[in-house]
Amino acid sequence: MADFPMPVFYSYPPYFTLQPVKETQRKQRESWKDLILSYCCHHRIFIVSLDAAADEFPLFENKAIQRKLSLEARSLLLEDLAASGRGRWLGPDRRRLLVLWRGVGEWADVIHAWARGNGLEDSVVSLEELLGGEDVRGSELAGMPRELLSAALRTLEERGKARVFRGDANDDTGVKFFA
Amino acid sequence: MLIGARHLISNGSPHLQESFKALGDHVNQTKLELMRSQMAVFKESLEQFALKYRSDIRRDPAFRESFHAMCVTIGVDPLASNKGIWNRLLGFGDFYYELGVQCVETCLVLRSSRRRGSAAEAVSADDVLKSLEKLSVLGGGLGVVTVGGSRYVRSQPMELSRDAADALDFAQRSGGFFSAPDLSASLGWAPARTEFTLQQLLRDGLTWLDLPPDAGAPCLYWVPAVGMEQAAAAYAAAHRLA
């Protein structure tokens, strides 16, 4: 967390209590929403879970002032992200959120640029390769969860920039990129 | 001589009356011209002064304040117009408009981050007051309220009750936050009066509620307007937190 500049409100205790007054709470949630997005972007965090232990996602607790967000507050913040299009729930139980600090369309661009940059146009790449192969390491694609990758590839398919060949099992799936 | 003159007029021939009228007009005309030329001289020296100290006026908030005070004393408002000579000389108009807009932005965003940056020109409290004065023509309740010893920029129309103002003053004195029992004790209020005032302050968005983690600890009420950074630091120091 050291190199990420925390906003002033992060050290201001009442920001960790869900405000009882509607308008104040709206401001509070707006500030948190921005912070979650920039924090996740900075640390390349893709998924935030309501069940996560504090050490997995330390943002919701500020030990320095002994404050943490309640489950209710955390859940509301993630709902806000989903409602504004900056997050997608993974699964119907709404416990894990895919945080879209880049929109799916943007990710599609990133993947396509990566494929071009690696000379992979008109060749088939396996999904597993995209999820953690040699070429992906250290690139913009590193760490992308399967759900996000699939969504971005669907977008590329719609744009006619890729074609996904689905095999029987997950590791059979391949992607062909077009220029 | 005046008596004589009146005497002559009352008795006098129409011819004499006309002569006196002509004389009177002439005197008035001379006076007016004298005034005009004095004004021109005066205006010129004021402009020269402004030009000579232009950079000081622009750079040094304290000097700027003194210059404004001088202008006000002699009935010139260098801020009155954005098109006039004064703006051409000093470029003030835009300075205060921009500062005013930044004040409003800060109010709206409710962030204490330094939006002007450290490289920005120095700004005095007087500058802020002037810029807000200019923007107050827009309505919208923009203004400055004084609570206790401090002045606050008000960004939305609201009436601050006496009790609410006292509570804000107490927040200022206690480092930006307080508990309900502290407030009652300090101002000698019955719990109901404290509760009513706190609800009002919360509703107006002037205080934020904070539930400390330790069970049994009273709720704290925070007043962001007093300064978030200082309050957070004061709290951390008081609780010996890192």
pLDDT digits over B213-224, tens only?
887 889 999 999
DSSP state of A56: T
Residues B1-7, mean pLDDT to the nearest whole number: 49
Give me the residue from A7, A17, A65 closest to B236, CB to CB: A65
Question: N- to C-terminal Cα distance for chain A?
Answer: 39
Residues B189-202, mean pLDDT to the nearest whole number: 94
Give A28's contacts in chain B (Cβ within 8 Å). Answer: 208
Give bridge partners of residue A47 from the DSSP assignment: A98
Residues B72-98, mean pLDDT to the nearest whole number: 61
Domain ranges of chain A: 8-99, 104-177
Neighbours of B112 (CB within 10 A): 17
Q: What CATH architecture is A104-177?
A: Orthogonal Bundle (1.10)
Question: N- to C-terminal Cα distance for chain B?
Answer: 90
Strand, coil or helix: A93: coil
Q: Do A7 and B111 touch (CB under 8 A)?
A: yes
Q: Side chain identity at B152, as an amino acid letter?
A: Y
Distance from C-alpha of B97 to C-alpha of B135, rounded to nearest angstrom? 7
Q: Tell me what percent of chain B is helix, strand and coil, each rounded to the nearest 5.
A: 65, 10, 30
Q: Among B26-30, B133-137, B232-236, where is mean pLDDT lowest?
A: B133-137
Q: Which residue of A has its CA nearest to B237?
A: A65
Residues B130-157, mean pLDDT to the nearest whole number: 68
For residue B84, pLDDT beyond 50: yes
Q: What pLDDT does B119 receive?
A: 44
Beta pairing class for B220-222 and B177-179: antiparallel
Weakly modelled stretches of chain A, pLDDT under 50: none
Q: Helix B125-135 and helix B92-109: axis angle, to 10°?
A: 90
For residue B109, pLDDT beyond 80: no
For residue B89, pLDDT beyond 90: no
Q: What pLDDT does B91 receive?
A: 58
Q: Which of residues 119 through 178 in chain A touch B, CB cutoff 8 A?
A: none
Encoded tokens for A145: 């969860």
pLDDT bin (cut points 50, 70, 90) of residue B90 is low
CB contact at 8 A, B173 and B139: no
**ipTM of the prediction:** 0.85
Q: Does A64 touch chain B (CB under 8 A)?
A: yes
Q: Please give the CATH topology (third level) of the domain spanning A8-99.
A: Arc Repressor Mutant, subunit A (1.10.10)
Q: Would you give the distance in Å from CA A114 to the centre of its chain? A: 19
Q: Does B108 touch chain A (CB under 8 A)?
A: no
Domain B162-238 sits in CATH 3.10.20.740: no
- Exposure b/e, B214-234, CB count within 10 A at least 16 = b: eeeeeebbbbbbbbbeebbeb
Q: Does A57 touch chain B (CB under 8 A)?
A: no
Q: Please give the CATH topology (third level) of the domain spanning B94-154.
A: Arc Repressor Mutant, subunit A (1.10.10)
More confident residue, A44 or B75: A44
pLDDT digits over B40-73, tens only?
787 778 777 877 887 777 777 778 778 777 777 7
For residue B111, pLDDT beyond 50: no
Neighbours of A15 (CB within 10 A): 28
CATH 1.10.10.10, chain B: domain bounds? 94-154, 162-238
pLDDT digits over A73-97, tens only?
999 999 999 999 999 999 899 999 9
